[in-house]
Amino acid sequence: MNILLLLIIIPILTIIGILFTRDNKQVRVVSAIGMTFQLITSAIIILWFLAERHAGNTAEFLFASNYVWYETLNIHFYIGVDGISVAMIGLTSMVIFAGIFASWDVDDLPREFFTSLILLSSGVFGFFISLDLFTMFLFYEVAVIPMYLLIGIWGTGPRHYSAMKLTLMLMGGSALILVGMLGLYFNSNPAGGPLTFEIPEIAKVNIPLNTQLFFFPFLFIGFGVLGALFPFHTWSPDGHASAPTAVSMLHAGVLMKLGGYGCYRVAVFLLPAAAHELAWIFLILTTISVIYGALGAIWQKDLKYINAYSSVSHCGLVLFAILMFNETAMNGAIMQMISHGIMTALFFALIGMIYGRTHTRYINEMSGLMKVMPFLAVAYVIAGLASLGLPGFSGFVAEMTIFVGAFQHADTFHRVATIIAASSIVVTAVYILRVVAMMLYGKINKEEYELITDAKWYDRMSVGTLIFGITAIGIAPLWLSNMITNGLGPMIEKLLPGMN
Amino acid sequence: MLMLIMRHELLLVLITVILLLVEIFLPADRKRKIILPALILFGAVMILGFIPGPTGSLFGGMYVTTPLTLMMKNIITIGVFIVFLQSVDWLKKEENKEKISEYFLLLLSTLIGMEYMLSSGDFLMFYLGLELATIPLAALAAFERFKEKSAEAGVKLIFISALSSGILLYGLSMIYGTVGTLYFDEVVNGINGAPLQILAFIFFFAGMAFKISIVPFHLWTADVYEGAPVNITSYLSVISKGAAVMIFTILLFTVFSKITIMWKDVIYVTSILTMTIGNLFALRQQNLKRFLAFSSIAQAGFIFLGIIGQSQLGMTTVIYFVLVYIFSNLGAFGVVAVISNRTGKENIDDYDGLYRTNPKLSLTMMLALFSLAGIPPVAGFFGKFFLFTAAAQQGLYILVLIAVLNTIIALYYYLLVVKAMFLNRSDKPIEYFKSDGYSRLGLAICVAGLVIIGIYSPVYEFINQFTFGIY
């Protein structure tokens, strides 16, 4: 059996296990056990993948299996991974593992909560291992729909509104993807004969430029909605702010990466000529995302809104780097996805824990928290420093790579865009340090804050996992970078023939 | 052996006759005893239908049985079986105890009509079947005649069917006038796009559009659906519509295949109108029956995407979608029926907080609605996806885009019901109750269908092997 199938089977078994539990505690334990297995499986996949590559296996996709599903339409259940999908799988299993522990104290309908959460994660895993557009699309929708219930039932604030807005906007994005996908399908075999949804097969076809130009916007904007591309990012701040902790973590940490990954794997990879032609439009939009998100974060008082806008900025950087079409920048884009995924999950986990103790998320209502909850406060500082790109953490590695790659373009347009986007780093420093200064330092401003206790064991579990992730990448980025570069080969070959 | 060609219809007639005899001899206070035997008999017919038998034509080609028609009959028979299961609880009510066998007789007659319609080999037989399928339905819509709305629904339905039949007949008579025959096989060759034939087609289309409730011929739908008893509404919106859609598609693909250019534009425009207007009206509905009525209008618009595909893919997908649609819509109507029977509540805000009191019903409803909206992994996703594929095959990407955007509107209003059940809290939610065994069996079949039909691809392949050569 293919080891990748385990990534879908384990969540399903976990959900079945949850159905047989009797009380809240058992639900939590079963979920935690399931996701621990998931994390172990992912680790095995990563190590195995590296070992295979080391042993000289140069197949484009490893662990590939291809099952026929709908014979008449030639729809296959086709799975396999390259360096990039393996990295995303690692990220996802880390975030969902941390997410389970971060939602240890959910007591309203816990069974349904963990079921939806794990169902969502299985959609994400399925998306990352799919090599067939049909299954990819199917898993995409499986990942989006539980979101509605998760935000609507367990969220805070205007949760009904946010949940509806998020679901409809993301489904709107998927509607565009569907049109683009069908366009690819019916152009996948110009010579006649069976059409296909398989990505590696479509990549071999030279689709005429006019067709490419017609379908590229559908796919790029469709996935871009999920990647918070300006002006389609508006679901993100509301959604993240209303969602319960674990959902914000998964959503900002992993689900938004589906957008970046889709833009990379489907839009740009399969329609390279159109990508070259239309890149300038989307470069302008992504540059706006980057700087607008950063400036938006400065004005917010609500911790979750600050990080939601910061996510818009950072995810904008991912799309920005993908559109630079060179190996360095694209490498940075994938690194940024991983780095931002872990970092933002850490942020949202900490915000949830802080909110659970202080019952407010407004930074001007909190002060001096460092004295009462040193563990969470230090973790917050670490996340903040990683976010503003301090060397030693993952953020630095990723952003540095992106800007170095982007600056390789010598023309004015790319240079100006790069300089504007790079200036967001400064803005990031402003809003991160402002939060740290106002919230963590200073005097304790309310008496009840004296009684706050520091992180519980499950909080430490969640936070520790994620901090381990960002520092591991920050200190030893090369293994990740090599793994990604390895996967970039076919992409570069297709985008810049003859360069590699 | 010739009898076996018509075995579906003959068996149903047999049951009808048995029920009539029993009705005569059974004392009034023991009428309820008829339910279980009737269900068992009907279930037996349903299962017998799946046994492969001879195909061929009877009455000089007026009645034709092909593997495809057999399969379509089986599909609608499954649907009717579920409807029967879901109506038991309602039939056992005090006010209906006099009329139990009438219910079965009328419903079986319409089913027989539909099967003749599906098997028809000429327009006369087609018309005969269509009428037999429609007239008993008017009586059924007025079944709760002591309720004003139900009576009104019956009258509206009979008027509208009379009108649409008239229009349809007028069209058919013109076809006869120009071609000189009513047999499908011979009409095909006679159709050459002469102006009178085009007019005839328009009349034919309008007549069918009333039956399938295509915009702008949909105005009767909401009132009738709201007034009729829930089970009749679900029968009207699922079985009756599904059968009409299937035969309509086949006629377009065979009899009218020479004037494709004509009907393609008509289908294109009405498809967009139907799904958009159906969706926009559904947004504003509070009564769940009206809500599902408009949603089913919109679904018909989506089915037209498969018709416009005009290929084997399109034909297979239309039938596949009808099958999926039967399970999804009957699932939704089943829940509405159960709750309406127990509590009399039919509005969306009555469902506030339903999940916390009746989790299983809510989950069934959610799955059914997700299937209608086209959310994976339930079957509706696959059905919708293939419909879009069929339309995209003709290069109609703009139509696909409009349709896909319509699914977003549809998702919004389906989510409103999910929101009421799962997200909202209520001071007075519908209390927990245990629904009767028949309804539960019916809903369980629906849920199983929704889960299996999509993921288990042989269902689609099975349908596909019979549709070869239709278009």
Assess if residue A500 is contained within a domain: no
Nearest to B126 by CA among B208, B192, B191: B208
Distances (CA, A) of B283 to A142, A402, A462, B260, B414: 24, 46, 42, 34, 9
Q: In angstroms, what separates the C-alpha of A277 from chain B's closest C-alpha? A: 22
Beta bridge partners of A258: none
- 3-state secondary structure (DSSP) of residue B256: coil
Q: Considering only A353-362, A467-476, A487-496, which range has the smallest mean pLDDT?
A: A487-496
Q: What does the pLDDT average to over A356-380?
A: 82
Whole-number percent of chain A with pLDDT over 90: 6
Q: Nearest Cβ partner of B375 from A145, A182, A183?
A: A145
Residue ranges in B353-433 assigned as alpha helix (H) = 354-357, 359-373, 379-393, 397-418
A305-320 pLDDT, tens digit each: 888 888 888 888 899 9
**Cβ–Cβ contacts within 10 Å for residue B74, how many?**
16
Q: Integer distance in angstroms from the first to the last C-alpha of chain B? A: 30
Closest-CA distance, B393 to chain A, in angstroms, reads 7
Kind of pairing between the strands at A75-81 and B56-58: unpaired
Of A119-128, A453-462, B157-166, the one with minimum mean pLDDT is: A453-462
Q: Which residue from A72, A148, A179 is facing B464, i.e. has the nearest CB? A: A72
A278: in domain: yes
Closest CA in chain B for residue A215: B397
Q: What is the pLDDT of residue A500?
A: 42
What distance, in Å, lies between the first and last C-alpha atoms of chain A? 35
B403: closest CA among B277, B276, B265? B276
Full residue range of the structural domain in which residue A260 is found: 3-495
- pLDDT of B366 reads 92
The pLDDT score that the predictor gives to residue B272 is: 92
CA A217 to chain B, closest CA, distance in angstroms equals 13
Domains: count for chain A:
1
How long a stretch of residues is chain B? 471
Q: Is the pLDDT of residue A100 over 50?
A: yes
Any idea where the domains of chain B sit in the sequence? 2-466
CB A376 within 8 A of CB A354: yes
For the ranges A128-132, A227-231, A263-267, B92-96, which has the lowest average pLDDT?
B92-96
Residue A96 within a domain: yes
* HEC secondary structure over chain A: CCHHHHHHHHHHHHHHHHHCCCCHHHHHHHHHHHHHHHHHHHHHHHHHHHHHHHCCCCCCCEEEEEEEEECCCCEEEEEEECHHHHHHHHHHHHHHHHHHHHCCCCCCCHHHHHHHHHHHHHHHHHHHHECEHHHHHHHHHHHHHHHHHHHHHHCCCCHHHHHHHHHHHHHHHHHHHHHHHHHHHHCCCCCCCCCCCEHHHHHCCCCCHHHHHHHHHHHHHHHHHHCCCCCCCCHHHHHHHHCCHHHHHHHHHHHHHHHHHHHHHHHHHHCHHHHHHHHHHHHHHHHHHHHHHHHHHHHCCEHHHHHHHHHHHHHHHHHHHHCCCCHHHHHHHHHHHHHHHHHHHHHHHHHHHHHHHHCCCEHHHCCCHHHHCHHHHHHHHHHHHHHCCCCCCHHHHHHHHHHHHHCCCCCHHHHHHHHHHHHHHHHHHHHHHHHHHHHHCCCCCCHHHHHCCCCCHHHHHHHHHHHHHHHHHHHCHHHHHHHHHHHHHHHHHHHCCCCC
Q: What pLDDT does B471 receive? A: 56
* Nearest partner of B309 among B397, B204, B201, judged by Cα: B397
Cis peptide bond prior to B216, omega within 30° of 0: yes
Phi-psi region of A108 (alpha: psi -120 to 50; beta: other; left: phi over 0): beta
B302, B406, B415: best mutation site toward chain A, by most A Cβ within 10 Å? B415
**Residues A376, A459 contacting (CB under 8 angstroms):** yes
**Hey, of B354, B411, B456, which one would you mutate to test binding to chain A, going by the most A CBs within 10 A of its CB?**
B411
Rounded CA-CA distance A353/A249 in Å is 12
Measured distance CA(A446)–CA(A444) in Å, rounded: 6
Task: Tell if the CB–CB gap between B400 and A163 is shorter than 8 Å.
Answer: no
Residues in A 157-196 with any Cβ partner in B closer than 8 A:
159-160, 163-164, 167-168, 171-172, 175-176, 178-179, 182-183, 185-186
Residues of B in contact with A73 (CB under 8 A): 313, 386, 389
Q: Which residues is A70 bridged to in the sheet?
A: A75
Predicted pLDDT at B326: 92
Q: Do A72 and B461 touch (CB under 8 A)?
A: yes
Query: Could you say which DSSP state residue B420 is in?
Result: I
For B4-146, strand residue ranges (E) read: 56-58, 63-65
Name residues of chain B where pLDDT drops below 70: 1, 469-471
Which chain B residues have a beta carbon less than 8 Å from that of A178?
A: 385, 388, 400, 404
Q: Mutation test of the interface with chain B: which of A73, A116, A137, A147, choosing the one with the most B Cβ atoms within 10 A?
A: A73
Q: Is B57 helix (H, G, I), strand (E, B) or coil?
A: strand
Q: How close B404 gets to chain A, by Cα (Å)?
A: 6
**CB atoms B419 and A164 under 8 Å:** yes
Q: Which of A69, A142, A152 sits opposite B419 (nearest CB)?
A: A152
Q: Is A72 on the interface with B (CB under 8 A)?
A: yes
Check pLDDT > 80 for residue A495. Answer: no
Question: Residue B329: what pLDDT?
Answer: 92
User: For residue B470, what pLDDT is reported?
Assistant: 64
**Is the alpha carbon torsion for A357, A358, A363, A366 positive or negative?**
negative
- B461 interaction partners in chain A (CB closer than 8 Å): 70-72
Mutation to test the A interface, candidates B457, B463, B464, most A Cβ within 10 Å: B457
Tell me the average pLDDT of chain A: 86
CB contact (8 A) between residue B460 and residue A163: no
> Which of A161, A171, A184 would best serve as a mutation to test chain B binding (most B beta carbons within 10 A)?
A171
Our CA-based measurement puts residue B464 at a distance from the nearest CA of chain A, in whole angstroms, of: 8
Reported as type and span, the H/E element at residue B301 is helix B288-309
A152 close contact with B: CB closer than 8 A = yes
Residues on chain B touching A160 (C-beta within 8 angstroms): 419, 423
pLDDT (0 to 100) of residue A357: 81
Question: Would an 8 Å CB–CB cutoff place A71 in contact with chain B?
Answer: yes
In three-state secondary structure terms, B74 is: helix
Torsional sign, CA A140, A14, A116, A461:
negative
Which residues does B contribute to its contact with A (CB < 8 Å)?
313, 316, 370, 375-377, 381, 385-386, 388-389, 392-393, 395, 397, 400-401, 404-405, 407-408, 411-412, 415, 418-419, 422-423, 457, 460-461, 464
Phi, psi of A65, deg, nearest 5: -135, 145
> Tell me: the pLDDT tens digits for A218-254?
999 999 998 888 888 888 888 888 888 888 888 888 8
Residue A389 has pLDDT above 70, yes or no: yes
Distance in angstroms (rounded) separating the CA atoms of residues B55 and B67: 7
Instruction: Report the candidate in A323, A338, A360 with the shortest Cα–Cα distance to residue A470.
Output: A338
